[in-house]
Amino acid sequence: MNIVLKTTAAFVLSAGTAFAAGHAAPMIEAANQDVSNGVVSAEKIVAGENGWLVVHRTDADMKPGPVVGYAPLRGGENMDVAAILQEEVASGDMLMLMVHSEAGGMETGVFEYTLGAKEDGPIRMDDKLVMTVITAD
């Protein structure tokens, strides 16, 4: 009887942990970094669904500008996500790393977003973009 209770308790606790991990709020953790190798990375990204890490140029106005890189994301926790930059980024340039959805496009697994489009567009939480801004060293 005692073994059954311990097993049931362990199952309930692990199920609760899995539920919490699968339903964590979308977020991005990234720091200023050297991008001279043509890659920008985020230490951790949580996405509510499959989607994209999208790297936008930005400036002091903090508005997303042109896309300069992207990488696929799995729904849930993603660690050490790297996006290859598609154009040169100079030291001092500001980059906005943002979570985008896979929804609305014509093809699954193909990044189709262009600035302002609905296809593979940005995800919002409480009407705020899920993003962080870094500076290239």
Torsion of the alpha carbons at 62, 63, 67 and 73, rounded to the nearest 10: 70
pTM score: 0.82
Please report whether residue 10 resides in a domain. no
Please check the confidence at residue 21 and state whether its pLDDT lies above 60. Answer: no
Please report whether residue 12 resides in a domain. no
Please report whether residue 39 resides in a domain. yes
Q: Give me the domain span that covers residue 93.
A: 26-135
Residue 23: the pLDDT is 63
- Using one digit for the tens of pLDDT, what is the confidence trace for 102-116? 998 899 999 999 888
Nearest to 73 by CA among 96, 117, 42: 42
Question: What distance lies between CA 20 and its chain's CA centroid?
Answer: 18
Please report whether residue 63 resides in a domain. yes
* Chain mean pLDDT for the chain: 87
Quote the CA–CA distance of 93 and 112 in Å, as a whole number: 25
Please report whether residue 20 resides in a domain. no
Please report whether residue 16 resides in a domain. no
Q: What integer is the mean pLDDT of 83-87? A: 98
